[in-house]
Structure formats: C-alpha cells, structure tokens
C-alpha cells in the first residue's frame, strides 16, 4: 500500500479523554476512530490487525476440531425470553421494530446456539461437536471507556462445545484451555489462567485468562508460594485467628461517637479483627430456583463479617443463590429491628432459613476464626464486648462472602496471597446443562432415551486483544507490533527526491511484495523526520529506508522497530535478509 493513497492520517496528539496508552496510540497511529462512546471504526491498518487476529483464532479453533460459522446479530426477543435473560441481562440492547416486534442485538450467542442444537442434534451420533464464529456483539455498557477495552459494540470469537455427558465435556475442556494458551502465545500475550466467578453466564467451572496490568479493571489473586490463582470474586482464603481459650462474659458498654469500625476498635482498645461489621442489603432473587427458595419475593439480608474484612457482593449474591443486590435503606434496617451504625445480631429474631420469617442473617466464615468480639448493641451509642458465636447470637447461613486481599493466607498452601489488577483477555465456561435444560435441548442416547446436551462456551474479544497487545508492546515513540499480528511487515520509505532514490524505492516495493511481504510504502513527499516519526508511531516490525547516501554505499538502511541498530543491506539481498531475521 502506498501511504500517499492510504485513507486517514496519523495524529500528533491523542484525544483528551484517552487515558490508556493503547487508546492513545491506536487513535494517533490511525488504527481506529471513535463514532460514539464505546463505538469505533477500524481504519484500514486496524482492520488488517483484526484480520491477523481472526486468522490465529480460527486456526487454533480448527486445530481442535472446531467449525467456523456465521450467526445473526439481530435476535427475535422470543429466544432470549425462553432462557429468561431478556429480563435479567442488564446490558442487553433491545430494538423495537414497526408493529411492536422486539429484538435483541447479540450480546452473546448461547440462545442462538441452543436453538440450533434443538434443530440439528438428534442422537448420540451427532455428538460431540464444536462450532465457533467471529462476530459483532452489543452490550449496553454504562461505563464505556479505555478505547477498545470497554465497548458497546465489539468483536468476539465465540466457540460452543456440545457433548453427550459431563464426563465428555470435562474431557474436551482442557483442549480448549490449551488452544487459548496457544492463541495468546502466538499474539505475544502472556496470560494467567484463573478460576473465575461464573456470573451472568451460569454454569459451573470457568476460567478467565487475564493479563496483569496496573490499569486493568479486574482484580485477581495469586499465591506468592504456589500456583493458586483466582478471580477476586471466586478467590478463597484462610481466615486467620483462633477462638479464645476462654470466652469472656458478654457485656454492654458505652461507645460514644464511634461510627466506624476503626473508631470502635480504637475506643475499646482491640484490633479491628476483634470486631464484627454489619452490612445490609436488599436482595431480589431472579432465578426460578432462588425464587422458589424464598417464596415471598424480596428480602432484607443482614450480613456479618469480621471487622478487618470486607464483603464481596458477588460472593454474597452467589451464596444466596443469585439475584439482584442493593444496599438497604436506613428505613429497611430499622424495620428489621437493627440500629444503623450500632447494628447487632444479638437479640434479633433470626430466621432459620430463607423460607422462614424473621431477619435473615448471613455470616462470613471469619466469625468462626476469633472471638470475644465487639459488636453493636442495636442502641445508639452502645456496643457489646466479648460477643461470641454461637453462644450469643444465631445466624441463618454461614458462607464465604469476604473479599480476598493481599496478605491473606492461601487456601492451598497457607502461603501469602497477593491481589493484582488485570485485564481480562478471554473466558472459558463449562455451561453444563444451564441452557439445554431451560430449552429442553436433548439427544437420544444409545438406548433411545432423551438426554440433555452438555455445553461449553468460550470467548475472546478481538478488539480487546488488540488493545492488550498495544498495552504490552509500545514505547515512547509508538506501537511495536509483534510480527504475528502487525498490519504490514515492512515500512518502506524513500529519503530525498532524486530519481535514482525513487526508482530504487519503487523497485524494492515491487520486489518485496512479489517475495510475499506485506509492505506499507511511504512514498509521500515529506521530510525524513516526518517519515521516521510515522514509522515509529505505526509500529511495523521492519523499516527500510532508501536514500542517496545508502545507495552510494550499495544498499538500503534496514532497522527493526524494537532495536536500535541499523544495517545496510544490498537491494538484491533484502528479501532474503528480512526473511532470515523475522520471527
């Protein structure tokens, strides 16, 4: 491609709202252009990178038996209503057409695939299968930000595995995980595979592939001693602290002006780990199971956690069986019989389970590690000291709902864990029968009996992957594309205007392309400084400069984007040289 005819221009300045380096550089280097918040056009250079990623993803999916397909982005509302996600998926974009017909824009494709399974999978002979597609997805992301990292319209590789049993799915799953490692390695992206919360996708096991990054929006936990790694929403940790040998007698004490846990601990003279924090939520179950369990609809949830820990709301929601959580209002807290700021489980009418009347008290397991706690007295200005569970109060449910953090104890080896920020690069879910059961997608087994199809779903965002690559591969002058995904392999330029220089550059352009290289030819009538700056900004692996000085010495100047050294290589040897030294 001749740069003089290329669409769009590089920019000297990044847009003011671009915080992430990938966002700044992809815009400056003319790879993407914003249309609206979270909506981007891929310019010709960006589209070439996208096609490279596409190819890597497709090759690795094909290698484990996948078949590429093409699925619709406009979905009749009925398929989303059938799985219940029409109402429960907040980010689903809905379209109302003439005559009241309703559609969803594809947020994901489990519904479409399950519909296909209903039509195409008849017997055990039709299994296993693995299909995938690379397509647009739409999500009504309230906080679109970070360039290609959080989008409203994006591009995903989505694969779906179909198996006859849980064992068959378990046997296939590691192949997909390995394919993911291959994909990320080919793109130059070092990932950590972690156990993740299954969230809105449903199902059982899931792995998240993350790239540690200081500006990542995810938190994950790794052990400093063993290979334990987990998403913070799924991370377990050992609650340190022991029950005191002697339980002191419960006593009510005045604690004036103690509004926070730190105030109370300081006033009484105990560490925060010897206090109990109360947090209140209003919970609305959304799944059929959790609705059945609760019977009476929404419910007030009184959560207890040791004072040195915090509640993780995803863990809490999972412990309750899923649904919507919001902080309870002061009014709701008072109706339950508790006093905001001084709330206590002591003296409350605690429900035995979700079916019973009374206050539902959910305690983190940390209440079992420690004792002689300081806890509120449901009276303004008063606390209890030396409160002990279960001697002094009851709970409805004990569960792991505390947030894992740096310094906590590893659940596997007892070493110290570390919380780090990361960018999510991909996800593998064992969906099991989550969708096939809802839509009754069955096959006939060898005995002619209907059995549910076991599904898995596996996603990688291509635009996000492009941003991650730029986050990892750049310097102060611009992007430094790995060879495998670079938009072109060679940035060719001529320096100066002499006929011999231009004729030689034209000849190199033709010959490199004939030799199979993808060449971006900076044939503009511009200064060497401008051309070198753009070459660095766009970040193509090889820079080849044709100038009078080099030609006098019998060659052209060759430089790798990620190295300082320059070489003079005779024109006749150029293609061979580049091939030998490419990765």
**Smallest distance, Å, CB 410 to Zn ion?**
3
If the CB atoms of residues 400 and 523 are measured against Zn ion, the closer one turns out to be 400
**Smallest distance, Å, CB 229 to Zn ion?**
9
- Report how far residue 219's alpha carbon sits from residue 233's, in angstroms, rounded to the nearest whole number: 8
Q: Does 413 bind Zn ion (CB under 5 A)?
A: yes
Query: Interface mask (CB under 5 A) for Zn ion, residues 140-169, using x and -?
Result: ------------------------------
How are beta strands 129-138 and 67-69 bridged, if at all?
Answer: parallel
**Smallest distance, Å, CB 265 to Zn ion?**
29
**Smallest distance, Å, CB 62 to Zn ion?**
37
- Report how far residue 293's alpha carbon sits from residue 285's, in angstroms, rounded to the nearest whole number: 9
If the CB atoms of residues 42 and 237 are measured against Zn ion, the closer one turns out to be 237
If the CB atoms of residues 266 and 415 are measured against Zn ion, the closer one turns out to be 415
If the CB atoms of residues 86 and 228 are measured against Zn ion, the closer one turns out to be 228
Q: Does 193 bind Zn ion (CB under 5 A)?
A: no
- Identify which range of 14-22, 170-178, 227-235, 468-476 contacts Zn ion by CB under 5 A: 227-235
Q: Does 228 bind Zn ion (CB under 5 A)?
A: yes
If the CB atoms of residues 196 and 452 are measured against Zn ion, the closer one turns out to be 196
- Identify which range of 209-217, 246-254, 409-417, 447-455 contacts Zn ion by CB under 5 A: 409-417
Q: Does 410 bind Zn ion (CB under 5 A)?
A: yes
- Identify which range of 80-88, 308-316, 404-412, 418-426 contacts Zn ion by CB under 5 A: 404-412
**CA triple 162-165-169, angle to 5 deg:** 55
Q: What are phi and psi of 232, to 5 degrees?
A: -60, -25
Q: Which of 174, 352, 415, 498 binds Zn ion (CB under 5 A)?
A: 415
Q: Are 82 and 439 in contact (CB under 8 A)?
A: yes
If the CB atoms of residues 418 and 445 are measured against Zn ion, the closer one turns out to be 418
Query: How many helices (H) does the chain have, and how many strands (E)?
Result: 16, 31
Token duo for residue 387: 């409160």
Contacts of 81 (CB under 8 A, 6+ apart): 87
Burial class, 10, CB count within 10 angstroms (exposed 0-12 / middle 13-18 / buried 19+): middle
If the CB atoms of residues 310 and 418 are measured against Zn ion, the closer one turns out to be 418
If the CB atoms of residues 89 and 412 are measured against Zn ion, the closer one turns out to be 412
Q: Does 225 bind Zn ion (CB under 5 A)?
A: yes
Torsion angle of C-alpha atoms 349, 350, 352, 355, degrees rounded to 10: 80
- Report how far residue 236's alpha carbon sits from residue 583's, in angstroms, rounded to the nearest whole number: 41
Q: Does 412 bind Zn ion (CB under 5 A)?
A: yes
**Smallest distance, Å, CB 238 to Zn ion?**
10
Q: Is the peptide bond before 128 cis (omega within 30 degrees of 0)?
A: yes
Segment 194 to 223, residues that bind Zn ion, using CB under 5 A = 223
Torsion angle of C-alpha atoms 539, 543, 549, 552, degrees rounded to 10: 180
**Smallest distance, Å, CB 177 to Zn ion?**
21
Q: Does 348 bind Zn ion (CB under 5 A)?
A: no
Three-class HEC string of 11-71 = CCCCCCCCCCHHHHHHHHCCCEEEEECCEEEECHHHHHHHHHHHHHHHHHHHHCCCEEECC
If the CB atoms of residues 223 and 336 are measured against Zn ion, the closer one turns out to be 223
Q: Does 237 bind Zn ion (CB under 5 A)?
A: no
Question: What Rg, from alpha-carbon coordinates, does the chain have?
Answer: 30
If the CB atoms of residues 89 and 413 are measured against Zn ion, the closer one turns out to be 413
- Identify which range of 108-116, 375-383, 410-418, 558-566 contacts Zn ion by CB under 5 A: 410-418
Alpha carbon distance, N-terminus to C-terminus of the chain: 22
Site residues for Zn ion per CB under 5 A: 223, 225-226, 228, 410, 412-413, 415
């Amino acid at each position: 491609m001749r740069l003089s005819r290329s669409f769009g221009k590089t920019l000297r300045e990044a847009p003011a709202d671009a915080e992430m380096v990938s966002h700044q550089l992809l815009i400056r280097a003319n790879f993407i252009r914003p249309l609206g918040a979270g909506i981007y056009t891929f310019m010709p250079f960006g589209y070439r990178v996208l096609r490279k990623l596409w190819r890597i993803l497709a090759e690795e999916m094909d290698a484990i038996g996948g078949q590429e397909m093409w699925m619709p982005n406009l979905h009749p509302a009925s398929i989303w209503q059938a799985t219940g996600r029409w109402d429960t998926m907040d980010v689903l974009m809905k379209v109302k057409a003439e005559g009241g017909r309703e559609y969803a824009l594809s947020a994901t494709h489990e519904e479409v695939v399950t519909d296909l399974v209903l039509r195409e999978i008849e017997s055990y002979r039709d299994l296993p299968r693995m299909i995938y597609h690379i397509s647009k997805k739409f999500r009504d992301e309230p906080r679109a930000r970070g360039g290609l990292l959080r989008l409203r319209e994006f591009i995903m590789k989505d694969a779906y595995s179909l198996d006859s049993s849980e064992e068959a799915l378990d046997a296939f799953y590691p192949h997909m995980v390995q394919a993911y490692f291959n994909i990320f390695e080919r793109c130059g992206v070092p990932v950590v595979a972690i156990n993740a919360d299954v969230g809105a996708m449903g199902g059982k096991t899931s792995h998240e592939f993350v790239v540690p990054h200081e500006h990542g929006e995810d938190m994950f936990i790794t052990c400093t001693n063993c290979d334990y790694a987990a998403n913070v929403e799924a991370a377990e940790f050992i609650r340190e602290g022991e029950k005191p040998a002697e339980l002191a007698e419960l006593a009510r004490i005045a604690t004036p002006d103690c509004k926070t846990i730190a105030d109370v601990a300081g006033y009484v003279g105990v560490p925060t780990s010897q206090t109990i924090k109360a947090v209140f939520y209003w919970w609305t179950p959304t799944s059929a199971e959790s609705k059945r369990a609760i019977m009476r609809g929404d419910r007030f949830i009184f959560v207890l956690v040791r004072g040195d820990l915090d509640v993780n709301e995803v863990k809490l929601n999972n412990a309750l069986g899923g649904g919507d959580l919001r902080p309870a209002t002061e009014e709701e807290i008072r109706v339950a019989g508790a006093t905001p700021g001084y709330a206590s489980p002591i003296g409350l009418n605690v429900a035995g389970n979700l079916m019973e009347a009374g206050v539902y008290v959910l305690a983190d397991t940390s209440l079992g590690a420690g004792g002689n706690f300081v806890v509120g007295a449901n009276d303004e200005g008063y606390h209890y000291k030396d409160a002990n569970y279960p001697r002094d109060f009851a709970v409805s449910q004990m569960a792991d709902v505390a947030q894992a953090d740096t310094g906590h104890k590893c659940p596997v080896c007892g070493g110290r864990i570390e919380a780090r920020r990361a960018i999510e690069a991909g996800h593998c879910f064992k969906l099991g029968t989550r969708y096939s059961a809802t839509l009754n997608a069955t096959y006939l087994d060898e005995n002619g009996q209907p059995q549910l199809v076991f599904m898995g779903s596996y996603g990688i965002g291509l635009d996000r992957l492009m941003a991650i690559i730029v986050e990892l591969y750049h310097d102060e002058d611009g992007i430094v594309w790995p060879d495998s995904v670079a938009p072109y392999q060679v940035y060719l330029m001529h320096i100066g205007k002499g006929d011999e220089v231009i004729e030689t550059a034209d000849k190199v352009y033709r010959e490199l392309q004939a030799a199979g290289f993808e060449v971006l030819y900076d044939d503009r009538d511009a200064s060497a400084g401008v051309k070198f700056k753009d070459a660095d900004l766009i970040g193509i692996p090889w820079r080849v400069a044709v100038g009078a000085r080099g030609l006098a010495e019998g060659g052209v100047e060759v430089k790798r984007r990620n190295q300082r050294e320059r070489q003079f290589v005779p024109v006749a040897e150029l293609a061979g040289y580049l091939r030998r030294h490419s990765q």
